[in-house]
Amino acid sequence: MRNQRFTVFASTAAALLILSACSSGGGNANNANNAATAPDNAATAPEPTESATNDDGASAPATKEPVKLRIYAAYFDDDTKKPYDYAVAELKKEMPNVELVLDPSMQDDGQKLRTYAASGNMPDIFQADYKTMKAFAASKNIELLDDAAPTAQFKSDLNPGNEPVMITPDGHVYSYPFAGIEFQILYYNKKIFADAGVEAPIKTYDQWKDAIQKFKAKGIVPLAIFSKEKWIGNSFFKGLLTREEPQGYAALTGKELPDAFELAAKQFNDLKDAGLFDPNATNTNYDQASSMFYTGKAAMLVNGQWEIYSADKNLGADVDWMYWPAKDEATYEASKFNMDGSGEPGGFSVSPTSKNKETAIEVAAFLARKYAEFKYTQLGNPIVSVKIDKPVVAKPPAMMQRLIDETLPNVKSFAKLNENVKINTALDDNTQNLIVKGFSDADFDKNMNRVLASENK
Amino acid sequence: MRHYFGNKWAIAAFALPALLLYSLVVSYPVVQSLYRSFFEWDGIGAGTFNGLSNYAELFRDPLLATSLRNGGIFALVLVVFQIGLGTILALVCADIKIKGRKVLKVGYFIPVVLSVTVVCQLWIAIYDPTNGLVNRLFELVGIPYRQNWLTSPAVSIIAIAFVNAWQFMGYQFSLLYAGIKSIPEQYVEAAIIDGCTKWGAHRRITIPLMAETFKFCLIVAITGGIGAFVQMLIMTSGGPGTTNFTLTYMIYRYAFSEFEYGYACAVSVFLVAISLLATVIINRLFRQERMTY
The CATH number assigned to the domain with range A184-341+405-455 reads 3.40.190.10
Residue A75's SS3 state is: coil
Q: How far is A168 from chain B (nearest CA, A)?
A: 19
Query: Is there a contact between A274 and A217 (Cβ–Cβ < 8 Å)?
Result: no
User: Omega before B240 cis (within 30°)?
Assistant: yes
**Cβ–Cβ below 8 Å for B13 and A14:** yes
Which positions in chain B touch A278 (Cβ < 8 Å)?
Answer: 130
Residue among B17, B151, B243 whose CB faces A14 most closely = B17
> CA of B77 to nearest chain A CA: how many angstroms apart?
22
Tens-digit pLDDT profile for residues A61-73: 445 689 999 999 9
- Look over chain A and give the mean of its residue pLDDT values, rounded to a whole number: 87
Residues of B in contact with A111 (CB under 8 A): 256
Q: How far apart, in whole angstroms, are the C-alpha atoms of residue A152 and residue A158? A: 10
DSSP 8-state class, residue A57: S
Length, in residues, of chain B? 293
Q: What strand order describes the sheet that includes A221-224? A: A221-224, A298-304, A184-189, A319-322
Specify the range with the lowest mean pLDDT, choosing from A190-194, A322-326, B9-13. Answer: B9-13
Between helices A111-118 and A130-138, what is the axis angle to 10°? 10
Residue A213 pLDDT greater than 90, yes or no: yes
Q: Transcribe B190-258 into DSSP letters.
A: HHHHTT--HHHHIIIIIHHHTHHHHHHHHHHHHHHHHT--HHHHHHTTT-STTTT--HHHHHHIIIIIS
Q: Which fold has domain B37-285?
A: MetI-like fold (1.10.3720)
| Percent of residues, chain B, with pLDDT higher than 70 | 97
Q: Please check whether residue B232 is in contact with residue B246, taking contact to mean a CB–CB distance below 8 angstroms.
A: yes
| Average pLDDT score over residue span A167-194 | 96
Q: How far is residue A160 CA from its own chain's centroid?
A: 20
Please state the CATH superfamily assignment of the domain spanning residues A42-181+344-388 in this structure: Periplasmic binding protein-like II (3.40.190.10)
d(CA A398, CA A266): 34
Distance from C-alpha of B149 to C-alpha of B166, rounded to nearest angstrom: 16
How far is B179 from B201, CA to CA, in rounded Å?
Answer: 16
Residue A111, chain B, CB below 8 Å: the answer is yes
Residues A435-445: tens digit of each pLDDT: 999 999 999 99
Percentage of chain B exceeding pLDDT 90 = 74
Under 8 Å between Cβ of A74 and A80 = yes
Kindly report the average pLDDT of chain B as a whole number.
Answer: 92
Answer whether residue A55 shows pLDDT above 80. no
The pLDDT tens digits of the residues spanning A320-337 come to 999 999 999 999 999 999
Distances (CA, A) of A355 to A122, A361, A410: 11, 11, 45
Q: Average pLDDT in the B248-273 region?
A: 94
Q: Of A287, A275, A283, A289, nearest to A230 (Cα)?
A: A283
Q: What is the ipTM of this complex?
A: 0.83
Which 3 state secondary structure label does DSSP give A272?
helix
Q: How far is A9 from chain B (nearest CA, A)?
A: 9
Cα–Cα distances (Å) from A79 to A175, A184, A306, B151, in that order, read 20, 18, 10, 32
What residues does A73 pair with on adjacent strands?
A104
Domain edges within chain A: 42-181+344-388, 184-341+405-455
Pick from A52-56, B56-60, B152-156 the range whose average pLDDT is largest.
B56-60
Domain spans, chain B: 1-28, 37-285
* DSSP secondary structure letter of residue B96: T
**Using omega within 30 degrees of 0 as the cis cutoff, is the peptide bond preceding B17 cis?**
no
At residue A101, does pLDDT exceed 70? yes
Question: Lowest mean pLDDT: which of A1-5, A193-197, B117-121?
Answer: A1-5
Nearest CA in chain A to B20: A18
The pLDDT value recorded for residue B291 is: 61
Length of chain A counted residue by residue? 457
> How many CB atoms lie under 10 A from the CB of residue B51?
9
For residue A235, what are the CA distances in angstroms to A177, A264, A442?
A: 22, 12, 20
- Using the Cβ of A303 and the Cβ atoms of chain B, whether some distance falls under 8 Å is answered with no
Q: Does A285 touch chain B (CB under 8 A)?
A: no
Spell out which residues of chain B touch residue A216, defining contact as CB-CB under 8 Å. Answer: none
Alpha helices in A189-241 (DSSP H): 190-196, 205-217, 230-241
Beta pairing, strands B39-40 & A347-350: unpaired
pLDDT value at residue A106:
83
List C-alpha distances in Å: A58 to A153, A174, A344, A365: 8, 17, 23, 7
Contact A432 B256 (CB under 8 A): no
Segment A238-248 mean pLDDT: 96
Question: Interior CA angle at A18 toward A12 and A23, to 5°?
Answer: 120
Contacts of A391 (CB under 8 A, 6+ apart): A377
What per-residue confidence (pLDDT) applies to A371?
97
Mean pLDDT of A308-326: 96
